Amino acid sequence: MFNSDDEVWSKDWLRKRVGASDDDLDRLETLLSLLVLETEKQNLIAKGTVPFAWSRHIVDSAQLLTHVPRETGTWLDLGTGAGFPGLVCAALMQSCHFTLAEQRPLRTEWLQRAADAMRLDNVDIVTANVSQLPDTKYDAISARAFAPLPRLLRLSAAFSTKATEWLLPKGRSAKQELEDLKGWRHMFHVEQSVTDPQSGIIIGKLLGPK
């Protein structure tokens, strides 16, 4: 089911770069097993990505942890979908409390089952769109393929302080989206993804509107 070389590389990366333990890897294996089964029922991930799910979904999510302080206490993941990056990061950083927001009930039902199976007690699954979320501030905010950058910031700036770390995987559009961003004071930059040299992650702090 999974490409063996990809799995070996991914687990080695997780151990070396984010300090994943054997228990952490077991939780991630549980996530992937459940994901493959559920993808037969609802379109969580493209079936063509399954053989390389360890790098394409697990490492791709976990790399965000290399850009936040380990003392980060609260994290909001917007549009969590199949649990990326929220469930992966929560499994690897259990000292941090994660709020995973997803507006599709079928997805949040599955996310809760996955979190329970992974024995994660640092995760809240919320069925809501962004406008329905409580006005809470977070230490970190992530969103993977959620919305174009200007709209994303308009919708979610209320959850941020000047100290909040934003982690926004943007694929190949990262550099262009950041160059085109207007109306905000920020300290954003683009980091190259470790899983795709042509993909970027917008990372940094939002200072407020101009």
* Under-50 pLDDT residues of the chain: none
Q: What span, in angstroms and rounded, lies between the C-alpha atoms of 147 and 135? A: 20
Structural domain count of the chain: 1
Report the chain's terminal Cα–Cα distance, integer Å: 50
pTM value? 0.96
Residue 40 dihedral angles phi and psi, to the nearest 5°: -70, -20
What's the Cα-to-Cα distance from 182 to each of 170, 185, 188, rounded to whole Å? Answer: 17, 9, 12
Residue with token string 């069925």: 127
Q: What span, in angstroms and rounded, lies between the C-alpha atoms of 18 and 104? A: 30
What's the Cα-to-Cα distance from 200 to each of 102, 116, 163, rounded to whole Å? Answer: 23, 31, 22
- Which residue range is the domain that position 157 belongs to? 4-209
Tens of pLDDT along 181-206?
A: 999 999 999 999 999 999 999 999 99
Residue 138, exposed/middle/buried by CB under 10 A (0-12, 13-18, 19+)? Answer: buried
List of residues 6+ apart from 175 with CB closer than 8 A:
190, 200
Angle at 107 between CA 76 and CA 154, to 5 degrees: 40
Q: What span, in angstroms and rounded, lies between the C-alpha atoms of 74 and 92? A: 14
The pLDDT, as a whole number, for residue 40 is 87
The pLDDT, as a whole number, for residue 146 is 87
Q: What span, in angstroms and rounded, lies between the C-alpha atoms of 102 and 17? A: 28
Which residue from 20, 139, 138 is spatially nearest to 88, judged by alpha carbons?
20
List of residues 6+ apart from 191 with CB closer than 8 A:
67, 200, 201, 203
Q: What span, in angstroms and rounded, lies between the C-alpha atoms of 184 and 196? A: 28
Question: What's 100's domain CATH number?
Answer: 3.40.50.150
